[in-house]
Amino acid sequence: MSESSQTELEDVTVAVFLAQEGSEEIEFTEPTETVSEAGATVDVIGSETGEARTVNNDLEESESYEIEKTFEEVSADDYDAVIVPGGTVGADTLRTQEEGVELLREHVEAGKPAAVICHGPWTLIEAGVVDGRTLTSYHSLRTDVRNAGGEWVDEEVVTDDNLITSRNPDDLEAFCETILEEFANHRN
């Protein structure tokens, strides 16, 4: 990474959602590291503070990471951008957490960028921000996206205004590159 790209997000504050358990580790760590290395201030947020256990390939327990702030402690005004990782259990859990869903809704409706990967679009669907939008996700969510009024496409990364979506961990390189570009373009 060049020196200029290391500071391209130095004035950007990013919230990264993390479920207490079941978020896909690489979909959490790679985007988080990408924006951190680009100079962004990053807060890991969830339903409660403390350790959160991630997974690999949805089924294998992996490392634990610290949730620093709760959804109730923060507001959409606190962040320039949001990242929501996948993981079937983690994404399913996040979409049931009303404070997190409301935070995401307010964030997206304010026109701020949200980067969501794999099963993470379940949270976008729950937030009611998919209607009329084009996005991608893990292939099993295509009917959910369509039922919510969105257009689902099979592409490694899709940007529709302030929504950035990707299908799975194989798309992380393109997803992270797009995050850097879109977060820099939407800075306040």
Per annotation, catalytic residue among 107, 118, 139, 186: 118
Q: Report the interhelical angle of 172-185 vs 25-37 (nearest 10°).
A: 40
β strands within 33-162, DSSP E:
41-46, 50-56, 60-67, 69-70, 81-84, 114-117, 134-135, 151-152, 157-160
Angle 34-40-45 from CA coordinates, rounded to 5°: 85
186: annotated active-site residue: no
CB atoms within 10 A of CB 176: 23
CB 20 within 8 A of CB 46: yes
119: annotated active-site residue: yes
- 138 phi/psi in degrees, rounded to 5: -60, 140
- SS3 category, 77: helix
DSSP state of 113: -
Per annotation, catalytic residue among 119, 139, 176, 186: 119
Q: What's the rounded Cα separation, in Å, for the pair 72 and 58?
A: 27
CB 184 within 8 A of CB 8: yes
Active site residues: 118-119
